[in-house]
A and B are shown apart, each in its own frame.
Chain A
């Protein structure tokens, strides 16, 4: 009785999740309907790989993409971009898309399906860093190059994949430091809201930010730094505390925009003007950050671009043609400040 109930609930939730997965519409507006259809077809294909496999001499570039699933607006942005790009290039690209529902074993299963189907290139964002040796070796033995997207794998697998397309977190931290340095005219006191302890994004951004400030803006001092776990609620709570410990903070740098948005609320409660009395700079480039910039409450953000489709398919085409690609392809991230915010806001998809 208990078990069957548990199972039923889980099946119900999972299938609900799957349906929304198929139906989530990209926000570009135009050609949405066509995209949705492609998306749905593509997902079906992934579930029945044998029947619809593109086996015969196919001139098209066949790419198998094993997405992690729906975990955040950012991830949705990435999915939408890939499906949109493939839909725009149906004459040259054949995308086989699978949704792994946040589970490594599903991702591995999808990758094995891709191998059976004989796709040209396999691309996926590894949901965790470890445990990929076996399946990546299978890919290598099948002669299918692998592109890692937006996340990395354990160093022991370094020669099992062709390339990794992801952001340079250190560079993002440095860009944020430059924004802060500009805003403060090279002098002032800064507090830092760190991401989850040990997360690669937090480590990289901190290294870049702290290093850049030290070398380029020696008169800017980081007076306090504490983790806000990448969440809005903790970003706010930690900022509340910073504001009470130091009453002369000139700027706050948050390792993601959500913490920055939380910090904005804390600054308001302290009776100060965010964006004016205390400058606010974040990372990621989420829509909310652009809205805050338009409202004058935030000063800048360094984008962590989820729109990687162009780079993924370019690399895939090169790999299919037997050309060599860089081991690490850095994604095209943008830097935005208040003056670009209004123009950029409508383009934000996540």
Chain B
């Protein structure tokens, strides 16, 4: 593949941004950022943290990419996370469905199923009733957390089950388990969207729903499937989050995470208006979002400034992604000193 082809790929820019952020962190921290040691037989370091904590964003972003690809959105993912966490933890803790005996596998399965049901509800609203996606999913955004509270009886369900904890805290080949879960999800979705016609249909719906329908694409059915998939990925992220803290925190689990999810997809370069999408780009976007948080903690930014710092980094990332802005920078390049242009880059 020629260099030009490579740079034109959708994944190129986000990937470069991610590398730049990580390398800048490494340089500023004097290499500490890259330090990876082995603790208790597994790798341990900031990059591993990014991998583990970023996995839930990545999984979320995969589902979100599909919804955004159709020109829709799903802002209920945070609440679905809370619901799935509440269900899984309540079952493992034998607060509900005692007949299952706290079986972790069944708990996870039912939590995923709950995510699918929530997604189906969203799909019903969007595909059948033609409610605008933002409004349709807003219902679960507000009501979902209430449902989670009901399941958990308004309390934080604390569990001690090691098998459930290993979903987030476990290691396989020395690397965190969530990274492998994310990898499986990514591969499955890549197969679904790139080896079948499904991906193209999603893009077609995103570009123009009416013409997609005229072209014989089953728009309704596809929208259902997409929102169900989005619900399942959100549920999976919720399971990982609740496993990591050994409990279901219905008030805070996934709070405002829909915005991080959308940000991840947007940084990845998928237009929120729908159309061309790239799952890999979104996953890179998710890792960028996580890296920003990890960076802010690593450099000990004052608590009052963390949000501002995050915003500044996001603005810079978006500027690098912006074609008009970069064109402008390039047009300035020959006239002004090179140093100045580099400052704009940084």
Contact = CB atoms under 8 A, between A and B. Distances in A.
B155 A73 contact: yes
Interface in A9-50: 9-10, 12-13, 16-17, 20, 24
Nearest to A232: B245
Contact of A238 (B39, B150, B246, B297): B297
- Kindly state the interface size class of chain A when it binds its partner: 35 or more
A233 B306 contact: no
Given A1-B129, A5-B125, A76-B154, A233 B143 contact: no
Interface string B282-301: 00000000000110011011
B249 interface: yes
A240 B303 CA distance: 16
Nearest to A287: B158
Given A233-B241, A238-B297, 13 more contacts: A1-B129, A5-B125, A6-B139, A72-B154, A194-B303, A224-B300, A230-B252, A232-B252, A240-B49, A244-B45, A245-B300, A286-B156, A288-B247
B55 interface: no
Contact of A226 (B45, B156, B246, B297): B297
B146 interface: yes
A316 to B, nearest CB: 27
A13 B245 contact: no
A271 interface: yes
Given A9-B139, A291-B158, A236 B298 contact: no
B158 A261 contact: yes
Closest 9 CB pairs of A and B: A241-B297, A227-B303, A271-B39, A232-B245, A231-B252, A73-B155, A13-B143, A288-B158, A13-B146
A24 B35 CA distance: 50
- Kindly state the interface size class of chain B when it binds its partner: 35 or more
B244 A73 contact: no
Interface in B200-245: 241, 244-245
B303 A233 contact: no
Nearest to A227: B303
B179 interface: no
25 contacts: A1-B129, A2-B129, A2-B131, A13-B146, A13-B147, A70-B149, A71-B251, A72-B155, A73-B154, A76-B154, A194-B303, A227-B306, A232-B245, A232-B249, A233-B244, A233-B245, A236-B244, A236-B245, A237-B49, A244-B45, A261-B245, A265-B169, A288-B156, A288-B247, A350-B155
Nearest to A231: B252
A9 B251 CA distance: 20
Contacts of B40: 271
A9 B235 CA distance: 21
Contact of B303 (A197, A269, A350): A197
A271 B306 CA distance: 28
A225 interface: yes
Nearest to B254: A233
Contacts of A258: 156, 249
Interface in B303-334: 303-304, 306
A165 to B, nearest CB: 23
Contacts of A20: 150, 153-154
Contacts of B46: 241, 244
Given A232-B249, A233-B252, A197 B139 contact: no
Contacts of B125: 5
A72 B139 contact: no
Contacts of A236: 244-245
A134 interface: no
A71 B135 CA distance: 25
A271 B44 contact: yes
B253 interface: yes
A233 B147 contact: no
Interface in B121-179: 125, 129, 131, 135, 139, 142-143, 146-147, 149-150, 153-156, 158, 169
B121 to A, nearest CB: 9
B281 interface: no
